[in-house]
Amino acid sequence: MSDLVTEIRTYVVNEFLDGEDSAELTAEFDLIESGIVDSLGLVRVISHVSRTYSIPVDDIPIVPDNFRSIAAICDVIRGAVKTAA
């Protein structure tokens, strides 16, 4: 598991699972369909990504599919960082 995936997974577990069993939380697990991340949660994830990775919110493509899984969130971050470089 990459450092980025680990960081995002840790954030999701700490912010949204509140001590629940996270064994099923793989990089591809659907965070939206499962109800772990709702519309307010999506705003929190976007804010975290913006702050942690110094990505302006305007540069983050805010589409639910981009935040559906940990892998998708990591792809958004990698894409934004690559574009900024």
Q: Is residue 16, in this structure, part of any structural domain at all?
A: no
Nearest to 83, CA basis, from 57, 55, 62: 55
**pTM for this structure?**
0.91
What pLDDT, on a 0 to 100 scale, did the predictor assign at position 41? 96
Q: Is residue 51, in this structure, part of any structural domain at all?
A: yes
Quote the distance between the C-alpha of residue 40 and its chain's center. Answer: 13
Nearest to 56, CA basis, from 76, 78, 80, 75: 80
Q: Is residue 18, in this structure, part of any structural domain at all?
A: no
Q: Is residue 17, in this structure, part of any structural domain at all?
A: no
What pLDDT, on a 0 to 100 scale, did the predictor assign at position 65? 94
Q: Which amino acid is at 23?
A: A
Q: Is residue 40, in this structure, part of any structural domain at all?
A: yes
Q: Is residue 68, in this structure, part of any structural domain at all?
A: yes
Q: What is the distance between the alpha carbons of residues 23 and 16, in angstroms, rounded to a whole number?
A: 14
Q: What is the distance between the alpha carbons of residues 58 and 50, in angstroms, rounded to a whole number?
A: 9
Q: What is the distance between the alpha carbons of residues 51 and 59, in angstroms, rounded to a whole number?
A: 12
pLDDT in tens, 1-42: 689 999 999 999 999 998 788 889 999 999 999 999 999 999
Structural domain span for residue 62: 3-11+26-84
Given a cut of 80, whether residue 48 has pLDDT beyond it is: yes
3-state secondary structure (DSSP) of residue 39: helix
Q: Is residue 19, in this structure, part of any structural domain at all?
A: no
Query: Residue range 59-65: average pLDDT?
Result: 92
Q: Is residue 62, in this structure, part of any structural domain at all?
A: yes
- The rounded mean pLDDT for the chain is 92
Count: domains in the chain:
1
